[in-house]
Amino acid sequence: MEGSELIYFLTAIIPAGLLILLMLIGDIDLDFGMDIGLGDFHLFSDTGPLGVKAILAFVSGFGLGGLTAESQNWGISPTISGLIFAIILYLGVIAFMRIIYSQRSNTLKSSNTLIGQSATVTVQIPTGQPGEITTRDPETGLTVNMTARCILAKERGTKVKIISVDAGTALVE
């Protein structure tokens, strides 16, 4: 393996290993202190375009595409091949993460049963912005993840109490 092939190989393998590790382990708090978004769309969330897993997929795809073009002597530049592979893998991982996150249990018979329940903040709730909480539905015993708002910012892992639920968004104290 010559110098450029080794660089593409390492660019493919290291981020791919980290990506697989993050997907196997599950949610790890990789909060960089930035929560830029509009409504429920957040740039740095797992399903956002600048999430850690999406970026790792892009870099790994670039290395894989470059390595393939370099080692197979394709008639295409390794950089162009890397970008094509990167975009495909990037979009695939974002789609996969959106499917996984959409399958979280949110089966509620009545949101009124959650009023007064304690919950745990799973995605930081900035002042005046939405975050996410997890609680248990007392009727079914199932875990419920839902958007939450709070007057004062709440960090991930903070225990809160649900005051009200309106249109699927909880107001917590």
> Looking at residue 33, what is its pLDDT?
46
Same domain, 43 and 124: no
Same domain, 21 and 83: yes
Parts of the chain with a pLDDT under 70: 26-48, 101-111
Q: Is 96 exposed, middle or buried (0-12, 13-18, 19+ CB in 10 A)?
A: middle
> Looking at residue 25, what is its pLDDT?
77
Domain span holding position 43: 3-102
In the DSSP assignment, the letter for residue 113 is G
Same domain, 54 and 115: no
Same domain, 69 and 134: no
Same domain, 86 and 24: yes
> Looking at residue 102, what is its pLDDT?
65
Per-residue pLDDT tens digits for 50-87: 778 889 999 999 999 999 998 888 888 999 999 999 99
Same domain, 14 and 34: yes
Same domain, 68 and 123: no
* Residues 43/103/116/112 CA torsion (nearest 10 deg): 110
Q: What is the DSSP string of 2-68?
A: -HHHHHHHHHHHHHHHHHHHHHHH-------S---EETTEETTSTTSTT-HHHHHHHHHHHHHHHHH
Same domain, 117 and 98: no
Three-class secondary structure of residue 42 per DSSP: strand
| CATH code for the domain of 126 | 2.40.50.140
> Looking at residue 110, what is its pLDDT?
61
Which structure tokens are listed for 78? 């390794």
Integer CA distances (angstroms), 124 to 47, 75, 99, 108, in order: 15, 48, 22, 23
Looking at the structure of the chain, the number of domains it has is 2
Same domain, 10 and 94: yes
> Looking at residue 40, what is its pLDDT?
45
Same domain, 27 and 92: yes
Residue that terminates a domain, selected from 80, 102, 124: 102
Residue that terminates a domain, selected from 58, 73, 102: 102
Please give the model's pTM, rounded to 2 decimal places.
0.54
